[in-house]
Amino acid sequence: MAQTTKNASSVQRAPAIVVALFILPAFALFAAVLLYPMASALGYSLFEWRGGTNLVRFNWFDNFVVLFTEHPFVEQMPRAFLHNIAIFAGTLVLQNSAGLFLAVQLHRLGPVRRLFQVLYTTPYLVSPLVVGYLWTLLLSPTFGPVNAALDALGLDSLAVSWLGEPATALPVLILVSVWQWIGFPVLLYGAALGAIPPELNDAASVDGAGGWRRFRHVTLPLLTPVIGTVSILTFIGAMEMFTLPYAFGGATGSPAGATDVLSVLFFRVSFQSGASNALGVSSALATLLFLFILGGALLGRRVIRAQEEKLS
Amino acid sequence: MFMGACGGGSGASANEVRLTVWTWSNEAMNAFKKAGIIDAFEKTHPGIAVEVVAQLDKNYETLLTTGLAGSGSPDIVALRSYGVLSSFADSGNIVPLDDVVKDWSGFSKPALAGAKGKANGKFYAVPQGIQTAQVYYNKKIFADLGLAVPASWDELIAAAQKIKDSGVAPIVIPGSVAAQISLAAEILGNARRGAGDFEQAFIAGRKNLTDPDNVAAVGLLEQIQPYLVDNVTSVTLDEAVTLFATGRAAMFPSGAWQVTTFANLGAEVDYGTFDVPVNAEWPSKAVTVSYADGGWALAKRSAHPTEAAVLLNWLAGAEFANLYANAMGTIPARDGVTLKNPQLAEMYQRYQSTPSTYLGAAYLRYGSPSGTDLLGEQVQKIWLGETTPARAAQSVQTGVNAWFRPADFQHE
C-alpha cells in the first residue's frame, strides 16, 4: 500500500519537471517573439527619442498626452477609431449572418459541401494585399470590369467611383474584407453544426417544432460558443486591420481619409514621418491599441460566458 | 551586415581596402556595376575596391538603422533627402561632411538644401540627384487640335477646354495618392504662390500657407477640376501613366522619373514637357519645380574613414555625376554634366536657369503629420466638394503647426 502511494506521488511529481522542460522551448520562443516586443513597445512609449533609436530621456506619459491633445492626432485618431468600429460592426453582422446562412445551407448539402467549403475558403488563403490590389483593379472606374459590366447592363447610374468616393470606400472595404474571410466562419459553423446530435432536432420535430423553430430554439443556442469565438476574432481582426485599408487607400486613407484606420495611422507616424520622436509616439499608439483590443476581447469573452451559463 | 568583411573578390590584393556602399535601389547598384562606375573609380584609385549592395527597398531605413548602429557597418550609404536624412543625422550614426568633401561649389542650392541636418545646418550627404517636376503633354493631340505649348495660365485653361471639347481628357493626376496630388499641386501652383520669394518669406516666418498667394495656388487645383479625368480621386499612379501613354489624357503633371517609365513601357506616345506658364499678374515667372533626390552619407562606424572620404569626394565630382545620371536616367545634382536623353537634357537645362524648391518636400516632411500628405487629402476634399481652397490651406497650416518651426531652417 505504502509502495503504491509512493509510486503514485512520484508519478505526479515527475511530470511537473518534464512538463516544464517540454513547455520551456515554446515559452522561450513565445517570450522572445511576443512578450519581449510587447514589453519593449510599452517601454519605448515612455521615452522621448531623437532620430530613430537615439534615446533622449524618460518622459512618463507625455507621448500618450500628445495623442490626445495635439494635432493631427486629436483629429485623426478618433476618425480612424470610428472607422475601425464601423469595420467591426459591419463585418460582425455580415460575417455572422452570411457565414451562418452559408454553413447551414452547406450542412444540408451532404457530401458536395466539401467542394463549396474549399471554394468559400479560397480567398482566405490569398494575402490581403493581393486581394486589395485585385479589387482595386476590378473596381477601377477607368479600367475595371465591374463598372464596364454595369454600363453594359444599362446600369451606369450604379457605376460609381467605388474607391474614389468617401461614401462608398469604407462600405466596399468592409464587403471585400467579409468576402475574403467568410470561409473561416463557414468552416467553424460547419464544424459546430456537425457536432450537434441529430437526436435533439429529431426530438423537437416529434414535439411539433417546424424548421425555423428548431433552428431558433435548438441549433442557434448550441452555436452560441462559436458565435462568440467568431465575434471576438472579428473584433481583433477589425481593430488591428492594416493590409486591406493600406492596399485600398495607401498610407493616408484615401479618399480624403475615408479609409484611414488606427494601424495605418500607426504606420504613417512610425515609418513614414520624418518626425524625430516617431518611435515614442507610435509606440504609445501601439500600446493603446493593444490595451483596447485586450480589454475588448476580455469583455466580449465575459459576455459570451454569461450567455453560455444561461443556456446550461 | 557582414558584407564588409567578405572581401576577396577577383583581383583583390592583400592590402587592398574594400568599401561597402548601401543603396535602396537595384537600378543604382546595376548602374555602378554594369555602367562602369566602379571600374572608373578603381582605375584611378588603386588600393580601394568598391562593393555596392542594394538592400530591400521597403525596409531600407529599418535595415540602415540597425546596420549603421552595429559592427560591420557599411562605409557609405545612400539616404533619402530632407526629413529621412535629417533624422539619421540626429541619431549620430552618420557624420557631417562639410570638411570631408573638399568642393561643394558644383552643386545647386536646392540639391544642397536636401542634404542638410535640420538640427545644425551641416551637410550630411553628397547630393545624388534632382527630381524636376513639370507638365508632360501629348504632342500629337496638341498638333491635331492646332495647339501650341501654352504661354500663360489662361492659355493653358483655353487649351484644356479645346481638348475637352474634342473628347479627350485634358489633364490626368493620380488623384488617389496623396503624395502624387501634392506633387501635381506644386507643379501647378509653385509660381502662383511666388516661387523662391515665397520660400524665403516662409522659412523666415513672415508668411505661412494661409497667405492669399498660396490660397490662390491651391485654388488652381479647383480651377482645373472640370478638365481632369473622370473620377480623379480613384486614379492610381499606374492608371495615370496608362491614360497618358495611350493618349486618353493630354497632359500629366509629374516628376522626371516618368521619362524612364515611358521608355520602359515601350509606349509610342510622342510627348514633350513644359513648366506651368504664368499670367502677367502672378508674383513669379515660370519655374522648374525641383527637389533633392537622395545623397551619399558617411557612416560613423566605417572601418575605413580615410578611403571612404576619397570615394565621397569622387562621388561629388563631375566624372561620377556624368556616368551616374546617364546610366540612371536622372537629373544630376551638380553642373558640368551632359545628358544624352533629349527629354532629360531639356529638363536639366530649364532647371539650371529657373529652379524653384518643392516647398512640401523641402520643409514639410520633418514631422507628423507630413504637409504633403495633408495637402493631398485636402485637395481630394476640394475635388469632392467638401472644402474650399482657403479652408484647405488653413487646414494644412494647422496640421504642420504641430511641429513646423521656421527657425529650424535658418542656419545660414
- A234 pLDDT more than 90: yes
Predicted local confidence at residue B411, as pLDDT: 58
Both B224 and B89 in one domain: the answer is: no
Chain B residues near residue A143 by CB distance under 8 angstroms:
239, 242
**In this complex, do A273 and B368 lie within 8 Å of one another by their Cβ atoms?**
yes
Predicted local confidence at residue B365, as pLDDT: 84
Cβ atoms of B262 and B39 within 8 Å: the answer is no
Q: How confident is the model at residue A51 (pLDDT cuts 50, 70, 90)?
A: low
Residue partners of B390: CB distance under 8 A and separation at least 6: B210, B215
Burial status of residue B15 (CB atoms within 10 A of its CB: 0-12, 13-18, 19 or more): exposed
Predicted local confidence at residue B412, as pLDDT: 46
d(CA B55, CA B57): 6
Residue B386 lies inside a defined structural domain of this protein: yes
Which of A276, A282, A283, A285 would best serve as a mutation to test chain B binding (most B beta carbons within 10 A)?
A: A276
Residue B323 lies inside a defined structural domain of this protein: no
| Grid cell of B65 as nine digits | 538603422
d(CA B234, CA B253): 17
**In this complex, do A164 and B232 lie within 8 Å of one another by their Cβ atoms?**
yes
Among A71, A136, A161, the residue with its CB nearest the CB of B231 is A161
Predicted local confidence at residue B65, as pLDDT: 83
| CA B146, chain centre distance (Å) | 33
Is the bond preceding A72 in cis, omega lying within 30 degrees of 0? yes
Predicted local confidence at residue B118, as pLDDT: 82
Cβ atoms of B348 and B110 within 8 Å: the answer is no
Which of A272, A277, A282 would best serve as a mutation to test chain B binding (most B beta carbons within 10 A)?
A: A272
The closest of A50, A26, A28, A122 to A275, measured between CA atoms, is: A50
The CA–CA distances, whole Å, from B191 to A45, B114, B156, B285 equal 43, 20, 14, 6
Predicted local confidence at residue B9, as pLDDT: 42
**In this complex, do A71 and B398 lie within 8 Å of one another by their Cβ atoms?**
yes
Please tell me which of A219-233, A274-288, B285-299 the model is most confident about, judged by mean pLDDT: B285-299
**In this complex, do B178 and A251 lie within 8 Å of one another by their Cβ atoms?**
yes
Residues 168-197 of B with CB under 8 A from A: 175-178
B369 close contact with A: CB closer than 8 A: yes
d(CA B355, CA B114): 14
CA angle A167, A172, A178 (to 5 degrees): 145
**In this complex, do A165 and B368 lie within 8 Å of one another by their Cβ atoms?**
no
Chain B residues near residue A68 by CB distance under 8 angstroms:
none
Chain mean pLDDT for chain B = 90
A164 close contact with B: CB closer than 8 A: yes
Cβ atoms of A104 and A215 within 8 Å: the answer is yes
CA distance B150 to chain A (A): 28
Chain B residues near residue A164 by CB distance under 8 angstroms:
175-176, 231-235
- B13 pLDDT more than 60: no
Residue B261 lies inside a defined structural domain of this protein: yes
Both B270 and B298 in one domain: the answer is: no
Both B229 and B205 in one domain: the answer is: yes
- A1 pLDDT more than 50: no
Burial status of residue B355 (CB atoms within 10 A of its CB: 0-12, 13-18, 19 or more): buried
Strands B271-274, B130-138: parallel, antiparallel or unpaired by DSSP?
Answer: antiparallel
B366: amino acid identity, one letter: Y
SS3 B281: coil
- B213 pLDDT more than 90: yes
Residue B347 lies inside a defined structural domain of this protein: no
Model pLDDT for residues B315-369, shown as the tens digit of each residue: 999 999 999 999 998 999 999 999 999 999 999 999 999 999 999 988 898 888 8
Both B305 and B371 in one domain: the answer is: no
Among A71, A143, A276, the residue with its CB nearest the CB of B401 is A71
Q: How many helices (H) and strands (E) does chain B have?
A: 19, 11
User: Domain containing B230: what range?
Assistant: 132-290+356-409
Backbone phi, psi, residue B126, to 5°:
-85, 120
Both B52 and B136 in one domain: the answer is: no
Residue partners of B175: CB distance under 8 A and separation at least 6: A164, B181, B228, B232, B233, B234, B235, B380, B383
Both B301 and B220 in one domain: the answer is: no
B243 close contact with A: CB closer than 8 A: yes
Which H or E run includes B348?
helix B342-353
- B286 pLDDT more than 60: yes
B399 close contact with A: CB closer than 8 A: yes
Chain A residue with minimal CA distance to B362?
A: A274
Q: How confident is the model at residue A113 (pLDDT cuts 50, 70, 90)?
A: confident
Angle of helix A113-121 versus helix A183-195 axis, rounded to 10: 150
Which CATH superfamily hosts domain A66-311?
A: MetI-like (1.10.3720.10)
Predicted local confidence at residue A5, as pLDDT: 47
B246 close contact with A: CB closer than 8 A: no
Residue B322 lies inside a defined structural domain of this protein: no
Q: How confident is the model at residue B8 (pLDDT cuts 50, 70, 90)?
A: very low
Predicted local confidence at residue A125, as pLDDT: 87
Strands B169-171, B249-255: parallel, antiparallel or unpaired by DSSP?
Answer: parallel
Among A162, A255, A274, the residue with its CB nearest the CB of B86 is A274
Q: Which residue has the higher pLDDT, A126 or B212?
A: B212
B83 close contact with A: CB closer than 8 A: yes
Both B259 and B308 in one domain: the answer is: no
Is the bond preceding B369 in cis, omega lying within 30 degrees of 0? yes
Among B89, B92, B234, the residue with its CB nearest the CB of A140 is B234
**In this complex, do A268 and B369 lie within 8 Å of one another by their Cβ atoms?**
yes
CA angle B260, B265, B267 (to 5 degrees): 105
Which of B80, B84, B234, B384 would best serve as a mutation to test chain A binding (most A beta carbons within 10 A)?
A: B234
d(CA A147, CA B339): 44
Residue B326 lies inside a defined structural domain of this protein: no
Among B234, B243, B374, the residue with its CB nearest the CB of A161 is B234
Predicted local confidence at residue A312, as pLDDT: 66
Residue B107 lies inside a defined structural domain of this protein: yes
Which of B176, B181, B384 would best serve as a mutation to test chain A binding (most A beta carbons within 10 A)?
A: B176
Chain B residues near residue A254 by CB distance under 8 angstroms:
176-178, 233, 376-377, 380
Predicted local confidence at residue A251, as pLDDT: 87
Chain B residues near residue A162 by CB distance under 8 angstroms:
234
Determine what percent of chain B is predicted with pLDDT higher than 70: 95
A27: amino acid identity, one letter: F
Model pLDDT for residues A119-148, shown as the tens digit of each residue: 888 888 888 899 999 999 999 998 999 999
d(CA B196, CA B190): 9
Chain A residues near residue B243 by CB distance under 8 angstroms:
142
Least confident of A136-140, A307-311, B85-89: A307-311
Both B64 and B46 in one domain: the answer is: yes
- In chain A, residues under CATH classification 1.10.3720.10 are 66-311
Cβ atoms of B278 and B344 within 8 Å: the answer is no
First to last CA, chain B: 37
Both B234 and B305 in one domain: the answer is: no
What pTM value is reported for the model?
0.85
Among A71, A166, A254, the residue with its CB nearest the CB of B177 is A254
> Taking residues B299-319, what's their average pLDDT?
94
The closest of B223, B250, B254, B249 to B237, measured between CA atoms, is: B254
Residue B337 lies inside a defined structural domain of this protein: no
Predicted local confidence at residue B1, as pLDDT: 36
**In this complex, do B380 and A161 lie within 8 Å of one another by their Cβ atoms?**
no
Q: How confident is the model at residue B83 (pLDDT cuts 50, 70, 90)?
A: confident
B408 close contact with A: CB closer than 8 A: no
Both B275 and B400 in one domain: the answer is: yes
Neighbours of B298 (CB within 10 A): 22
Model pLDDT for residues B220-275, shown as the tens digit of each residue: 999 999 999 999 999 999 999 999 999 999 999 999 999 988 988 876 789 999 99
> Taking residues A167-192, what's their average pLDDT?
93
The CATH number covering residue B101 comes to 3.40.190.10
d(CA B113, CA B362): 7
Predicted local confidence at residue B301, as pLDDT: 92
B94 close contact with A: CB closer than 8 A: no
Longest CA–CA separation in chain B, Å = 72
**In this complex, do A142 and B235 lie within 8 Å of one another by their Cβ atoms?**
yes
CA angle A154, A159, A163 (to 5 degrees): 170
- Give the DSSP letter string of A12-62: HHHHHHHHHHHHHHHHHHHIIIIIHHHHHHHHHTTEEEETTTEEEEE-TTH
A76 close contact with B: CB closer than 8 A: yes
The number of distinct structural domains making up chain B is 2
